[in-house]
């Protein structure tokens, strides 16, 4: 029996390549951190707006999971994007406008879907960004991403969660992508939870092992942004490919509550790595500027 890909494999250091951050330019490292900051402080402003009853939609926060989209978006900026319900960080990291996302969450006609879709169905067709949001059927974005790659020939990055992989059409779509050598970069943001149920309570198999059996290169790593960007660069030129990335959801599946501190705090770990590289002052300035911009964005 294949061992379940659950909490026993999870750690803040899984798959991290020693000193990998040193292979990145200062500007690349700071840009990944800036995108993490935009996502984090946008969602922190959203939390306060929910508490103040300014936002009454159900919200799916990216807090704790910001590094995945921040890193991948710096490597594959021109890919079409298909995403899941927890997609604020994806939209913002790939270049979506924060004010349009805010307006969507406020139910305004100037929002990404005219204020009608809410938090889990974020679209973006502005400038260089082509992003298709979630539509409510878990994992349905995976076959849609594969179909888009087949029909257009354009490269696609598809984000989904560990729960979505348990829907039967997900692996069927990935197998089709492998057979037809379609340019799809599959990314699982694996927070070990399907709402509240951990992986070891749900299944006895590993996503990564199954994907490899389909003939797709697959890697298990933690959410260190330098490690993510390193593997994304390697895989982006040989698609289809798959990254399973262990992340820590900071808040509830839906809503702004919390059941306690996450297993690790990647945002704090990235700040410490930047400090070790002598970038504390520059990263601190970026964080302060972003915090102030998001506070202004969410001001009543």
Q: Write the CB contacts of 76 (distance below 8 Å, at least 6 apart in sequence).
A: 155, 157, 185, 232, 236
CA angle 77, 81, 87 (to 5 degrees): 105
Catalogue all structural domains in the chain, each as residue range(s) with its CATH number. Answer: 24-298 (3.40.50.970)
Residues 258-288 pLDDT 10s: 988 999 999 999 999 999 999 999 999 999 9
Helix (H) or strand (E) segment spanning residue 199? none
Write down the pLDDT at residue 5.
55
pTM: 0.95
Half-sphere exposure of 233 (CA within 13 A, CB side): 12
pLDDT digits (tens, 9 = 90+) for 128-150: 789 998 877 889 999 999 999 99
28: how many CB neighbours lie within 10 A of its CB? 17
What confidence tens digit (pLDDT) does each residue in 87-131 have? 999 999 999 999 999 999 999 999 999 999 899 889 888 777 899
The pair phi, psi for residue 209, each rounded to 5°, is -65, -40
Q: Which two tokens stand for residue 177?
A: 């992508």
Summarised one tens digit per residue, pLDDT across range 69-91 is: 999 999 999 899 999 999 999 99
pLDDT at 6 over 90: no
Residue 127 is classified by DSSP as T
For the chain, how many residues are written? Answer: 300
Residues 6+ apart with CB under 8 A from 260: none
């Amino acid at each position: 029996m294949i061992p379940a890909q659950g909490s026993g494999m999870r750690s803040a250091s899984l798959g991290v390549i020693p000193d990998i951050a040193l292979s990145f330019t200062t500007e690349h490292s700071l840009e990944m951190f800036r995108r993490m900051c935009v996502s984090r402080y946008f969602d922190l402003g959203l939390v306060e707006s929910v508490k103040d009853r300014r936002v009454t939609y159900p919200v799916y926060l990216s807090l704790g999971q910001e590094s995945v989209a921040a890193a991948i978006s710096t490597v594959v900026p021109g890919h079409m994007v298909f995403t899941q319900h927890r997609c604020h960080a994806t939209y913002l990291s790939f270049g979506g406008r924060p004010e349009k996302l805010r307006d969507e969450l406020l139910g305004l006609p100037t929002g990404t879907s005219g204020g009608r879709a809410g938090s889990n169905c974020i679209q973006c067709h502005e400038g260089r960004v082509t992003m298709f949001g979630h539509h409510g059927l878990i994992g349905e974005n995976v076959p849609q991403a594969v179909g888009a790659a087949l029909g257009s020939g354009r490269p696609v990055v598809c984000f989904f969660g560990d729960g979505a992989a348990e829907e039967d059409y997900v692996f069927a779509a990935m197998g089709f992508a492998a057979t037809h050598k379609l340019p799809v970069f599959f990314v699982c943001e694996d927070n070990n939870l399907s709402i509240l149920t951990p992986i070891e309570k749900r299944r006895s198999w590993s996503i990564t092992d199954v994907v490899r059996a389909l003939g797709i290169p697959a890697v298990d790593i933690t959410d260190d942004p330098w490690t993510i960007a390193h593997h994304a660069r390697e895989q982006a030129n040989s698609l289809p490919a798959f990254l399973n990335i262990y992340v820590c959801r900071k808040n509830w599946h839906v809503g702004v509550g919390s059941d306690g501190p996450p297993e690790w705090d990647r945002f704090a770990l990235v700040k410490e790595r930047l400090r070790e590289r002598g970038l504390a002052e520059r990263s601190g300035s970026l964080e302060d500027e972003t915090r102030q911009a998001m506070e202004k964005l969410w001001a009543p």
